[in-house]
Amino acid sequence: MNQLMPLRHLAILCAALSLATTANAGDEEHAKDVTSSDRLRVGLVLGGGGARGAAHIGVLRELERMRIPVDAIAGTSMGAIVGGLFASGMSVDDLETLVAEMDWADAMSDEPERSDLRFRRKQDARDFPVDLDIGLERGRLKLPLGVVQGQKLDLILRNLTLPVSQVTDFDDLPIPFRAIASDIETGEMHVMGSGDLARAIRASMSVPGVLAPVSVDGHLLVDGGLVGNLPVDIVRDMGVDVVIAVDVEFPLYTLEELQSVITVSEQMLTILIRKETLRQIEKLGDDDVLVRPQLGTFGSANFGDIVEAIEPGAKAARDQEPRLAKLAIDDSAFSAWRRQREQRVPRDERLAFVRVEHDSRLSPRVFESRLGVSAGDPIDAATLSSEAAQLHALDVFEKVSYRLVEEDGETGVVFDARAKTWGPSFLNFGFTLEDDFEGATNFDLRARLTRPAVNRYGGEWRIDLRLGTEPQLLTEFYQPLRSDSRLFVAPYIDFDQSNFNAFTDQDVVARLRVSELIGGFDFGTEIANFGELRLGAFRGGGESRVTIGDPTVPNPDFETGGLRALLRFDTLDKPWFPTNGLRADLEWRQSLEELGGDDRYDIIDMSVEAVRSRGKSTVGIGLDFQTTLSFDGAVQDLFRLGGFQHLSGYERGAISGPHAAVAKLLYYRRIGDSPGGLFDAPVYIGASLETGNVWENRTDMSFDSALLHGSLFVGIDSYVGPMFFAAGVGQGGLTNFYLVIGAPPP
């Protein structure tokens, strides 16, 4: 089955970039005269096959060993990737390094590097981890055209083909090239022999449903496997005398292997692809050569072991050496052919202009404030890719890529920013299921509706809904003061309900349900991409009622109002199971009678965590500290402890008071190697050591009265958020078991 090949992340690929070259037109013609005037012209056909297509690299290596020049290439999907990059001037060594060092999971993700994300987007990823972005337009739900839009893949291909980015006729590449795709509207084959090489390769590899289609010249294109997985006739039309066709399709399953709906579905698709492939093979003549690497059941999606496919390709080529030998040329002629592939096209070393072309409401100054590249800067692939990633991290656009263009004899860069086609509003989701296997279950389902780019300054309106154990409804309008400013205002309204245990002499006598409605107005500033500072005022009120236990427990209505200051920052490299970084939330709230509060008092609420890693092991420390100053604390301001990693021997929220603190030491280790790919879900084992308590009086807070708890856990970093199965123990023989799915509850 034809599968997508994810590409290596930018940092390593740029090392290969410097070696990818094209030819001077005059020298190219001379080289062709030298190397092809008295010999058979060779056309190479590279078929699709996902990870199996790495065998193409082995074939290319053997062709070079045999001194067989290639005069034309046609490829589909993986064959288009290998063939297109080789045709652009990339060496076989670079191709092998490329596939061997790929970061599969990262390349198959549209998620920006967390360091590039604005702080608001970092919080989104933590609170709403379900990786599903649903659009909403006039009450109608809309979905993207692919699970992956190809943001990182586009940039990687763009970087790899940068030396030939201004070559619009693929016949002018060091080796003439054709990429095969399918027109998803008509079902017909679409042969790309001109235009943008990076886009052509990307279109040929767009597995339907996985990768979003690519628009090329008014055609919506997907993977070419169904219509031309082995395009023999296409390369024949390029004027070659002999065709070398490399078939890497997945074999048909045996009857014994057809044991599930998945294998049956795969078999049907393979049959459809194979039918067209056999038709193309029938077009091979007596002098043509068919190379079929013996890959067995090596999976089309087995990118974690992709290098294992290279040698079977080389062996299959060696097996055909007696037939291929007639195509070999002498050392001098082959060296001339290689030099022709390795000559560079002169280009301006510096950018003459920088421009952003987009289809959003945003002011150009929004982009200017985010871009770190300008006219006069060197043309550097890594820099241009990084700048495109910065714009994509605004989370307004489906994709942001770049292209070099020539205007009035000068070379500049144009960043293409395409708005999400399934907008203009978007739904994101998160959920939590927490069970201690002793009757205490907490569940919540969270949804966020976001309308980005409400105005040219980047205003954003959001509505949060949480259903379950502790429901919430919150709406906030976030408005930057200027298009190029990090200053903002944020009015909000927040309604939520929480559960608190009431105590008498350390015994729980009742459970209270506290409902609170607050309106507020914040003035703040973003701190680079890692933090946020807010100053604001709030006003509201609420009520409490006994839901379980002693009905005589006081449950008064209350009024609240005052001022607050909130400083938050986050440099963690991942929202869950991070390996490095620091996260902190520091909040001060002052209740003021002048602003409607029942009493005057201050609250300090602090949460800090820091992690460092070595290899697969990570050590972290954390501290939660809350205290109420000048007041014993109203019920709505009590702090709760208990639950996984917050005194794990207790159930969540089991103890509460006006003063609370818990410190923890955390260790976890990733087990096993990452398979890579779209559904990579790393597994961890770990333990925590926790100490803390709640106190009625701040003067009672001490290490002597702190309780000692701990946990052992297995964790999975999944696409719905973290998952934990844990055992918690606490001082006094307390034990708890936890199953936590999704982001832990607030």
Single-letter code of the amino acid located at 17: L
| Pairing of β 189-192 and β 487-504 | unpaired
Rounded to whole angstroms, the Cα distance separating 325 from 305 reads 31
Distances (CA, A) of 53 to 10, 209, 464, 717: 21, 20, 45, 30
Classified as helix, coil or strand, 382 is: helix
Catalytic, 223? Answer yes
DSSP β-bridge partners for residue 433 = 443, 741
Q: Give the helix/strand (H/E) hosting 84.
A: helix 78-87
Distances (CA, A) of 477 to 453, 459, 462, 521, 740: 11, 7, 6, 10, 32
Rounded to whole angstroms, the Cα distance separating 459 from 362 reads 9
Count Cβ atoms below 10 Å from residue 184 Cβ, excluding itself.
18
Catalytic, 607? Answer no
Phi/psi at 154 (nearest 5 deg)?
A: -60, -45
Rounded to whole angstroms, the Cα distance separating 473 from 462 reads 11
Instruction: Single out the catalytic residue among 77, 91, 498, 544.
Output: 77
Would you give the DSSP letter of residue 169? B
Phi/psi at 628 (nearest 5 deg)?
A: -110, 125
- Specify whether the CB–CB gap between 387 and 372 falls below 8 A: yes
Q: Which residues contact 408 (CB under 8 A, 6 or more apart)?
A: none
| 3 state SS for 306-353 | HHHHHHHHHHHHHHCHHHHHHHCCCHHHHHHHHHHHHCCCCCCCECCC
DSSP β-bridge partners for residue 179 = 75, 192
Nearest-5° Cα angle at 581, 579 to 585: 125
Give 672's Cβ-side CA count (13 Å radius): 12
Distances (CA, A) of 279 to 45, 189, 305, 738: 14, 15, 31, 58
Count Cβ atoms below 10 Å from residue 275 Cβ, excluding itself.
11
Q: Which residues contact 196 (CB under 8 A, 6 or more apart)?
A: 165, 168, 403
Rounded to whole angstroms, the Cα distance separating 35 from 325 reads 16
In terms of Cα–Cα distance, which of 706, 640, 625 is closest to 502? 640
Instruction: Single out the catalytic residue among 94, 124, 223, 247.
Output: 223
Give 224's Cβ-side CA count (13 Å radius): 30
Only one residue has tokens 């290490």, namely: 703
Single-letter code of the amino acid located at 560: T
The angle, 0 to 180 degrees and rounded to 10, between the axes of the packed helices 310-319 and 55-65 is: 40
Burial 569-608 (b: 16+ CB within 10 A, else e): bbbbeebbbbbebebbebbbbbbbeeeebbeebbbebbbe
Token pair of 328 as six digits = 């070999």
Phi/psi at 359 (nearest 5 deg)?
A: -125, 35
Token pair of 330 as six digits = 């002498």
Count Cβ atoms below 10 Å from residue 719 Cβ, excluding itself.
12
| 3 state SS for 207-218 | CCEEECCEEECC
Count Cβ atoms below 10 Å from residue 323 Cβ, excluding itself.
15
Active site residues: 77, 223
